[in-house]
Amino acid sequence: MKILFAIFAICCSFFNVSPSAAESDSAAVEAARKEASVVYYTGLNVNAAQKLIQAFEKKYPFLKVQLARHGHVQLRTKIFTEAQTSAHRFDVVSMPAIELQLLKKKGILASHRSPEVEGIPTGLRDQDGFWTAMYITQFIPGYNTRMLTRDQVPKSWEELLKPQWKQKIGLDPDAPLWYASLLEYWGREKTIRVMKGLAAQEPHLRRGYTLLAQMVIAGEFPVAIVHAHKVEELKAGGAPIDWVKTVDPVVTSGHAIAVSARAPHAHAARLFADFILSKEGQTGLHQAFLVPARTDIPPLVPSLDQTKLKVHYVQPSLADQYDRHDKEFHEIFRTKTQK
């Protein structure tokens, strides 16, 4: 037996394939089959989540995905609460990378170096293998094309501070990622000045970037800080909405996937994570108007091409000061928060 294993190891080395990789299509899949299901926690929109799940279950019909959707702040709270009570329910989670960095620091995630990570830029994956970006989101001003002419559209973040935008801006009250990244890019003095100026505009605070985009379309307010991919999806359906491509920076957050350190279905969890990071899985995200993290899949529309935008990626190191940034952001907008 030892001789056979040695021969196998030599062959693997010769063809640059490790024994664990060779097993992935057989032993690991068979182990996942016995687990029968995988529990997926995510903030992903229903359309994209269903596309992913349907494609995965078609490829692995012996596995069923149990989906639980929440906003990323609520999802983080839920996971922390479950960890404190030793209620280990989820197998896989996807949410903004900085949120997963917080879970990593609490020991809630397992290191999983997926064979698919080579298609993901190094800046969009954890160096220790605890999370890998599956798609990216961009914070940008979206606007109603029937309410504003091209000349009226704000061209920069600073232009939102002009008098004509008072009480005409929509903003999510849970946006510390955007705020923290601007602190890093602009510095503290400019960021605080812009944020306080924005608060003085008395923005309409509503939770949920999809809701904000829908309210722009409905004419509740002409401008809102939303996600570019959602605007493109709604625009493709004929909605009167577009977004500003000239803001500097376009704060860009990696929405990443990770495996639970105490996954009830550990083999199925890894299989599901690998599928989502694969070109096959990421194509499903692409079709849902998300921007895949893989560099070998072009954006669905030219306007989402990262090389043509002034992109600034949210840095995972911001997690170290997350509570401080979160507190500061809410203090700036504290008198206007609505649910």
Sign of CA dihedral 6, 7, 12, 14: positive
Q: Which of 65, 206, 212 lies closest to 140 in space, CA to CA?
A: 212
What's the Cα-to-Cα distance from 103 to each of 74, 181, 262, rounded to whole Å?
13, 19, 13
Is the pLDDT at 12 greater than 80? The verdict is no
Nearest-angstrom CA–CA distance, 63 and 165: 51
Compute the mean pLDDT over every residue in the chain, rounded to the nearest whole number. Answer: 89
Query: Element (H or E) spanning 223, and its range?
Result: strand 223-227
The contacts of residue 151 (CB under 8 Å, 6+ apart) are none
Domains located in the chain, CATH noted: 24-136+254-304 (3.40.190.10), 138-252+308-332 (3.40.190.10)
Q: Which of 126, 135, 136 lies closest to 103 in space, CA to CA?
A: 126
Nearest-angstrom CA–CA distance, 100 and 252: 16
Nearest-angstrom CA–CA distance, 137 and 39: 24
* pLDDT at residue 284, rounded to an integer: 85
Residues 302-324, mean pLDDT to the nearest whole number: 88
Query: Residue 271's pLDDT band (boundaries 50, 70, 90)?
Result: very high
Is the pLDDT at 144 greater than 80? The verdict is yes
Residues 27-42, mean pLDDT to the nearest whole number: 95
Query: Residue 298's pLDDT band (boundaries 50, 70, 90)?
Result: confident
- pLDDT, one tens digit per residue, over 43-90 is 888 888 998 999 999 999 999 999 999 888 889 999 999 999 999 899
Residues 329-337, mean pLDDT to the nearest whole number: 76
Q: Percentage of the chain surpassing pLDDT 70? A: 91
- pLDDT, one tens digit per residue, over 207-242 is 989 999 999 999 999 999 999 999 999 999 999 999
Q: Letter for the amino acid at 76? A: R
- Whether residue 227 contacts residue 90, with contact meaning beta carbons closer than 8 Å, is answered with no
- Whether residue 277 contacts residue 257, with contact meaning beta carbons closer than 8 Å, is answered with yes
Q: Which of 128, 126, 80, 62 lies closest to 272 in space, CA to CA?
A: 62
Residues 27-37, mean pLDDT to the nearest whole number: 94
Q: Which of 56, 52, 41, 53 lies closest to 108 in space, CA to CA?
A: 41
Dmax over Cα atoms in the chain, in whole Å? 79
Residues 141-149, mean pLDDT to the nearest whole number: 97
Which of 159 and 304 is assigned the larger pLDDT? Answer: 159
Query: Element (H or E) spanning 195, and its range?
Result: helix 188-200
Query: Scanning the structure block, which residue is given the tokens 């030892």?
Result: 2
- Whether residue 292 contacts residue 145, with contact meaning beta carbons closer than 8 Å, is answered with no
* pLDDT at residue 157, rounded to an integer: 98
Is the pLDDT at 11 greater than 60? The verdict is no
* pLDDT at residue 307, rounded to an integer: 84
Distance between start and end Cα atoms, the chain? 65
* Count of Cβ atoms closer than 10 Å to residue 26 Cβ: 9
Query: Residue 17's pLDDT band (boundaries 50, 70, 90)?
Result: very low
- pLDDT, one tens digit per residue, over 93-120 is 999 998 899 999 999 999 999 999 888 8
Instruction: Pick left, alpha or beta for residue 133 (phi over 0 → left; psi -120 to 50 → alpha; otherwise beta).
Output: beta
**Residue 227 φ/ψ, nearest 5 degrees:** -100, 135
Is the pLDDT at 153 greater than 70? The verdict is yes
pTM of the model: 0.79
* pLDDT at residue 24, rounded to an integer: 52
Bond into 316 cis (ω within 30): no
